[in-house]
Chains A and B, each alone.
Chain A
């Protein structure tokens, strides 16, 4: 089946540092979504990207839709303790509205 490779698998950073994570695939996607999931909760949508090359910000978060449409990255600037959680990318293939999820990046922020 389709696969989204998300990296890094986990990150341990100090409060105030910037964070970067990405997703890559061999398939072309029409939409990229980035979610954050806290333990025991459902994923919460952070950013949605719809066009190749699109760069979108949501507060301290910035995400880009890769030019090739096969990748996307998420940056978090000046991390804070509440950024802790698992971040998932999700891609929507052409001609379908089903999502394929990445394997997640687990973020730990130390004060």
Chain B
């Protein structure tokens, strides 16, 4: 099982602010993912990484960006937040090829 940490758990900010959502895992997993989820709805992949210096866009277009400078750390950044970015953001990492384990999520509200 994976220990995945996300901070902050909740964030309320004003339009135009720059924010970074943190995600870290201590298991040395190479593959990490970011999903966006509206309340009670399905998860949509927005970014993924297969290792250090590897980042790819997911199936759902997102204005956010990610970086992977260290194996254990996969932060997501919004340069200028807008109300349409209000959602829950979930980070996950892979054990092996198949099983993804999720962090607790960050619930973002942009006013």
B-binding residues in A (CB < 8 A): 1, 30-31, 33, 35, 40-45, 48, 50, 86, 88, 90, 92, 97-99, 101-104, 106
Number of A-B residue pairs with CB-CB distance less than 8 Å in the complex they form: 55
Instruction: Please pick, from B41, B42, B45, the residue contacting A98 in the complex, using a CB distance under 8 A.
Output: B45
Minimum CB distance partner of B10 in chain A: A40
CA distance A92 to B33 in the complex (A): 14
CA distance A92 to B31 in the complex (A): 15
B-side interface size class? 20 to 34
Q: Is the CB of B45 within 8 A of A33?
A: no
CA distance A31 to B58 in the complex (A): 19
Task: Enumerate 21 A-B pairs (CB-CB under 8 Å) in ascending A order.
Answer: A30-B98, A31-B98, A33-B100, A40-B105, A40-B107, A42-B4, A42-B6, A42-B102, A42-B104, A45-B99, A45-B101, A50-B98, A88-B42, A88-B43, A97-B97, A98-B48, A98-B58, A98-B59, A101-B43, A102-B42, A104-B40
Residues of B within 8 A of A1 (CB): 59
